[in-house]
Amino acid sequence: MTETTLPTDTAAAIDLLNTASTVTVLCHVQPDADTIGSGLALAMALERRGKSVQVAFSAPADLPESMGDLPGLRFLAAPHEVRQEVDLVVTVDCGSRGRLGALSDRLDFAPHTLVIDHHRSNTEYGTAHLIDAAAESTTAVIATLFDAWTVEIDADIAHCLFAGLVTDTGSFRWVRPGSHALAERLLATGIDGAAIARRLLDTHPFAWLPMLGSVLGSARLVQDAAGGQGLVYAVIETADSRGLRSEEIESVVDIVRTTAEAEVAAVFKEVESGWSVSLRAKSTVDVSLVATALGGGGHRFSAGYTATGEIGTNIAALVAALG
Ligand SMILES: [Mn+2]
């Protein structure tokens, strides 16, 4: 391989993007800043190359408020507005087809589907794949793609890429060599990294505090779970989350997972269909395997799944899956 030869998957991805005239970029349900940042950055690059592009996610109806100042929001389309047939569908940060929700049918109408992701559990459901399970964020995969595709990373694109990088690395706690170099490149475009991080990660309404008091007050430690390494869990019932945003709900696991006595943390969030469960591990347990066994997926130290039925049954099932 010479220096100018691109990896096969990168070259194939660029070929698909260059060849298409109409593109739909799909983000995952319950979108986070990585999937939205990736989608909007890709849309801006595609528009510059003369493509007609839409970005969408199937649920919930509204974009999380904390992402309301990301550049490129004009590309977002409501699910019913998403074109049925396009030359290319790209999914970003979606480990499985199911993560697309009701928009997964758009994969069936497209001659080509490109999956861009960093989930270890990715099921490779496209016709082409650009997956780097070692990447910090899907926006980091997109940055590498843009370099190969000679897309200039200006401040607007950098804002979107930084949003995914800062959130998926937990404010640069889960990093690897190169993570800070990418952050430096993005910040050098003039974006306000502190303001972006504050809005995405460090801004909650006052009602967040009493919710935390109630939910954390009922957390439980199961010391003999996970082979004696311990499980700590908390339950967020509908009554706890009333009037709060997804940002407040998603924040809980980041507090619960700091428990010294437990390798694994879980937060059970009551949703319409039952429970949405977030799992975190520190260093020894691979929660992507646990989540996959329970019908979900994710990363080695951060994963999730959904479940129906009684909370007690679900806690018992998780304890059993942890071994
Ligand atoms: Mn991600």
DSSP string, 47-77: HHTT-EEEEE--SSSS--GGGTT-TTGGGB-
Asked whether residue 2 carries a pLDDT value surpassing 70, the answer given is: no
CA of 2 to the centre of ligand 1 (A): 31
The last residue of one of the domains, among 201, 228, 256, is 201
The pLDDT score that the predictor gives to residue 228 is: 98
3 pLDDT exceeds 80? no
Q: Domain check: are 192 and 312 in the same one?
A: no
- Tell whether 284 and 268 lie within a shared domain: yes
164 CA from centroid of ligand 1 (Å) = 7
CATH number, domain at 285?
Answer: 3.10.310.30
Residue 102 has pLDDT above 80, yes or no: yes
Instruction: Give me the domain span that covers residue 315.
Output: 208-322
Q: How far, in Å, are 103, 196, 235, 243 from residue 205 at the CA level?
A: 32, 17, 20, 10
Please tell me the predicted confidence (pLDDT) of residue 41.
Answer: 99
Same domain, 144 and 285: no
Whole-number Cα distances in Å, 294 to 170, 172, 226: 25, 29, 15
Distance 119 CA to ligand 1 centre (A): 7
Q: CB of 29 within 8 A of CB of 59?
A: yes
* Beta strand ranges found along the chain (DSSP E): 22-26, 52-56, 88-92, 112-117, 128-131, 220-222, 231-236, 264-271, 274-281, 297-298, 302-307
Average pLDDT value over all residues in the chain: 96
- CATH of residue 173's domain is 3.90.1640.10
- What is the number of domains present in the chain? 2
Q: Are residues 195 and 254 in the same domain?
A: no
The model's confidence at residue 1, banded by pLDDT at 50, 70 and 90, is very low
Q: Name the pTM for this structure.
A: 0.93
Q: How far is the CA of 316 from the centre of ligand 1 (A)?
A: 28
Mean pLDDT computed over 279-283: 97
Mean pLDDT of 255-282: 97
Q: What percent of the chain has pLDDT over 90?
A: 95
- Domain boundary, last residue among 174, 201, 228: 201
* Same domain (yes/no): 232, 196: no
In this predicted model, what pLDDT tens digit does every residue of 103-148 receive, in sequence order? 999 999 999 999 999 998 899 999 999 999 999 999 999 999 999 9
Looking at the fold, whether 77 and 191 belong to one and the same domain comes out as yes
**Could you say which of 146, 171, 201 is where a domain stops?**
201
Do 139 and 213 belong to one domain? no
Q: Is the pLDDT of residue 4 over 80?
A: no
Question: CA–CA separation, 253 vs 153, rounded Å?
Answer: 33
Biggest CA pair distance of the chain: 60
Six token digits for residue 141 = 């995969």
Q: Are residues 115 and 257 in the same domain?
A: no
